[in-house]
Amino acid sequence: MQPLNLDTTFVTSLRCVLCGESHDPRDAEYVCPRCGDEGILDVQYDYERARPFFTPAALAASTERGMWRYRPLLPLPASAPVPPLETGMTPLYDAPRLAAALGLGTVLVKDDSRQPTASFKDRASALAVALAGLRGASAVATASTGNAAAALAGMAASTGTPCVIFVPASAPKAKIAQLLAYGATVFAVEGTYDQAFDICMAACRRMGWYNRNTGYNPYMAEGKKTAAFEICEQMGWRAPDAVFVGVGDGCIIAGLHKGFADLAALGLIERMPRLYGVQAAGSDFLARCFETGQDPLRAAPIEAKTVADSISAGLPRDRIKAMAAVVRTGGSFVRVEDDEILRAIPDLAAHTGVFAEPAAAASLAGLRRAATEGLVAPHETVCIVATGSGLKDVAAAERACAALGRHTISMSPGILTDQRLLDEALAAARPAR
């Protein structure tokens, strides 16, 4: 692969989150050469030079509607081709009935189930495939619990790039079917996501594939930060008071933090929203560190187990940035049980029409908890991020509805011949609430 040349962008350097040293993108391929794999890099920009290109007026005049409208603050030269799948500028819905049910004022739903491969991960994978193309990579690869893989496979398919995937064999069927349909080579690792991650790292080193792994490739948070840009642009260049999002590896919450921080640095928003990372009780590495004050870099991995496969991570790869996102914005980590996560699927769907997979519904479960505990006030504007579609994990939605007693009403076609039976049966149809 050729070295990455970002000289024509507003990127100044890559700064290590551990030692603070700055590196040229040509020299530091993924992580800090001094610190190794834990030395995750953070992309730095020259905000003064980028400012004239990143104004509300300039963006309003942009003909680019998706995430590439924010290219002045992305690590990609203006001339670099991007995958054709339309990524970003997903809807931001006002959800007044959900807000009322929670006793809150304004609840907004950022609906990233609407991305081309049906999850938030498209924002990062689109950038990964663009960067791989720029470097002339022979193939792109990632380890994933499912969505990052589907996103990479879909983006790769859209550009004709070979794609290699490592998933835990336990990933939901829909996600694996999606990978195979996109034509990726899929290795189903009989083990955990964390083990699939290590195998992918070794494979990329050996084969020279472009590595999209979360919490290793420094550019993935840059793609993900576009959601924060969109939320503020959609709100008329204001920021919400608080944002809730499911956290596994911590890259999404780190990306949101970066996006809001970019806007604050440019003076486009007045203050940062508080960021709340929602973790499943069975995968609560960061919530534990937050509560005990333990350094996430030194804490021992846990054994992760949750119905929300997309936020199942025994050792969150982006734990340093994720902890900083929460601590620096005055937010917190919120822990929710699997049954609260499952409950949030029909809760969100019936109140807003947005159908989310467990990890995405976790944002609502976390908000419900936080509202009960007084972490958010009724006058505040709160945004929850629906990070993935409910169609990704139909079994979980079925379980959630069954637990609520929501079931189909069986009906024989013969009922048409008997008006009385028909009336009786239809009486069961209550208006949905």
Instruction: By CB under 6 A, name the binding residues for ligand PLP.
Output: 119-121, 147, 214, 246-252, 310-311, 357, 359-360, 387-388
CB of 246 to ligand PLP, least distance (A): 4
**H or E stretch at 286:** helix 285-292
| CB contact at 8 A, 23 and 13 | yes
Classified as helix, coil or strand, 162 is coil
CB of 106 to Zn ion, least distance (A): 41
How far is residue 402 CA from its own chain's centroid? 27
Is residue 39 part of the contact set for Zn ion (CB under 5 A)? yes
The entry of Zn ion, ligand PLP, none near residue 200 (CB within 5 to 8 angstroms by kind) is none
Q: Which stretch binds Zn ion (CB under 5 A): 25-33, 263-271, 277-285, 419-427?
A: 25-33
Q: Under 8 Å CB-to-CB from 405, ≥6 apart: which residues?
A: none
Classified as helix, coil or strand, 345 is helix
Nearer to ligand PLP, 10 or 219 (CB): 219
- How many of the other CB atoms lie within 10 Å of CB of 188? 15
Q: Which stretch binds Zn ion (CB under 5 A): 35-43, 64-72, 327-335, 393-401?
A: 35-43
Nearer to ligand PLP, 13 or 393 (CB): 393
CB of 121 to ligand PLP, least distance (A): 5
| CB contact at 8 A, 376 and 102 | no
> Which of 1, 24, 35, 183: binder of Zn ion (CB under 5 A)?
35
CB of 156 to ligand PLP, least distance (A): 17
How far is residue 217 CA from its own chain's centroid? 15
Is residue 297 part of the contact set for Zn ion (CB under 5 A)? no
Nearer to Zn ion, 15 or 175 (CB): 15
* Residue with nearest beta carbon to ligand PLP: 388
d(CA 132, CA 140): 7
CB of 181 to ligand PLP, least distance (A): 18
Nearer to ligand PLP, 134 or 322 (CB): 322
Nearer to ligand PLP, 15 or 121 (CB): 121
300 exposed, middle or buried (CB, 10 Å; 0-12, 13-18, 19+)?
exposed
Nearer to ligand PLP, 29 or 318 (CB): 318
Is residue 44 part of the contact set for Zn ion (CB under 5 A)? no
Six-digit token string for 412: 């024989």
CA-closest candidate to residue 120, choices 363, 374, 378, 425: 363
Q: Which stretch binds Zn ion (CB under 5 A): 12-20, 103-111, 242-250, 251-259?
A: 12-20
Which residues are registered as beta bridge partners of 210? 140
Angle subtended at Cα 217 by Cα 116 and Cα 300, rounded to the nearest 5 degrees:
110
**Sheet strand arrangement including 242-246:** 92-94, 106-111, 381-386, 242-246, 274-280, 332-336
The entry of ligand PLP, Zn ion, none near residue 18 (CB within 5 to 8 angstroms by kind) is Zn ion
The site for Zn ion (CB under 5 A) is made up of 16, 18-19, 32, 34-35, 39
